[in-house]
């Protein structure tokens, strides 16, 4: 599976959006607020588009996602805007003790392999 955690409002540090797609094109999108219990709102629907392609011979799969920014309470993206973001992949069969976890912006070392660590999100800056 692959996941994108996107925070278009960095001043709301513990509030972001999760988009997850598996090789079989099963998906979930969640609005996350770590100040709440439970922290994920499964009722939220971004209407994001996604597609997967599996190349079994080469043991490769591809995913494409298109996320409408308005679903994240953003009217438009402007040059100079900075968002917090991390991209993740969990790879391999079995439970989490047997899988590989990869990310775009490194997570801290230690036993916590959870992806919900906003302090580890990278920053993307939009340009013209």
Domain boundaries, the chain: 2-125
Are 98 and 117 in contact by the 8 Å Cβ rule? The answer is no
Average model confidence (pLDDT) across the chain: 91
Q: How confident is the model at residue 95 (pLDDT cuts 50, 70, 90)?
A: confident
Q: Does residue 52 have a pLDDT over 90?
A: yes
| Rounded Cα distance, 45 and 88, in Å | 21
Q: Does residue 82 have a pLDDT over 80?
A: yes
| Rounded Cα distance, 70 and 79, in Å | 17
Residue that is written with structure tokens 């036993």 in the block: 111
| Rounded Cα distance, 120 and 126, in Å | 19
Q: Does residue 99 have a pLDDT over 90?
A: no
CATH of domain 2-125: 2.60.40.1190
Tell me the whole-structure pTM to 2 decimals: 0.89
Q: What is the pLDDT of residue 113?
A: 65
Q: Does residue 32 have a pLDDT over 90?
A: yes
Q: Which two tokens stand for residue 75?
A: 């009217």
């Amino acid at each position: 599976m692959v996941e994108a955690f996107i925070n278009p409002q960095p001043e709301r540090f513990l509030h972001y959006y999760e988009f997850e797609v598996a090789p079989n094109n099963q998906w979930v999108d969640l609005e996350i607020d770590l100040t709440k219990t439970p922290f994920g709102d499964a009722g939220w629907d971004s209407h994001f588009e996604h597609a997967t392609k599996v190349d079994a011979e080469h043991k490769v799969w591809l995913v494409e996602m298109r996320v409408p920014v308005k679903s994240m309470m953003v009217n438009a993206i402007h040059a100079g805007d900075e968002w917090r973001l991390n991209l993740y992949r969990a790879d391999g069969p079995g439970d989490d003790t047997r899988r590989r976890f990869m990310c775009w912006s490194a997570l801290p070392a230690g036993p916590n392999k959870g992806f919900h660590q906003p302090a580890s999100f990278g920053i993307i800056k939009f340009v013209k």
